Amino acid sequence: MENSIEKKFNDEIIKLCDDNNKSSNNSLFTRERYRETIGNVKKAKLSSKKTALQRYFLRQYDILSVAGIEKLIRKGDIFFYYCTVDELYPLIRTAHSGIGHGGIHKTYKELIKQFANISREIIRIFIQMCEQCILRKSRTATTKLVVRPITSTDFNSQSFA
């Protein structure tokens, strides 16, 4: 079940990638583009006569080696990582369930503490597919239909033992 949702989510993200690739400020990284960008940043660092693009790379990105693995980070923000498209689902799932299935804004606030390229749009797609949120939404809708005031009798009749 979980896997089919993850697949659906990733399909949506790939679509978003395709759209974004047409614009210059694409913040989504496939593994391939991630590796390429790290390579470009390294090359730019070594280049003695930097091109405009290389200067852009150096303004935007830096590389941090974490346990021998090179990670792309936002320039000047040591703990601000760029993540790849395939990492999005598990990262958002962890943050979103960690805050008790909060909404888009809460989930976003949690993720931007650590990640440089997880947008509200991506989180919106995730939450739309979150089974627990869908369930809660439908439950809230049902509750609204049968809502009635809570009387003291309701409390008294319950056992708190």
Judged by the rule CB under 5 A, the positions of this chain that interact with Zn ion are 101, 130, 132-133
By beta-carbon proximity to Zn ion, the closer residue of 27 and 132 is: 132
Spatial distance between the Cα atoms of 152 and 138, rounded to a whole number of angstroms: 28
DSSP-derived letter for residue 22 is: T
Q: How far is the CB of 132 from Zn ion (least distance, A)?
A: 5
Q: How far is the CB of 139 from Zn ion (least distance, A)?
A: 13
Look up residue 138 and give its amino acid.
S
3-class DSSP string for 27-51: CCECHHHHHHHHHHHHHHHHCCCCC
By beta-carbon proximity to Zn ion, the closer residue of 58 and 129 is: 129
Q: How far is the CB of 86 from Zn ion (least distance, A)?
A: 20
Q: How far is the CB of 5 from Zn ion (least distance, A)?
A: 11
By beta-carbon proximity to Zn ion, the closer residue of 104 and 133 is: 133
By beta-carbon proximity to Zn ion, the closer residue of 5 and 38 is: 5
Q: Tell me the CA distances in angstroms from 60 to 38, 46, 88, 113, one per residue in order.
A: 12, 16, 21, 18
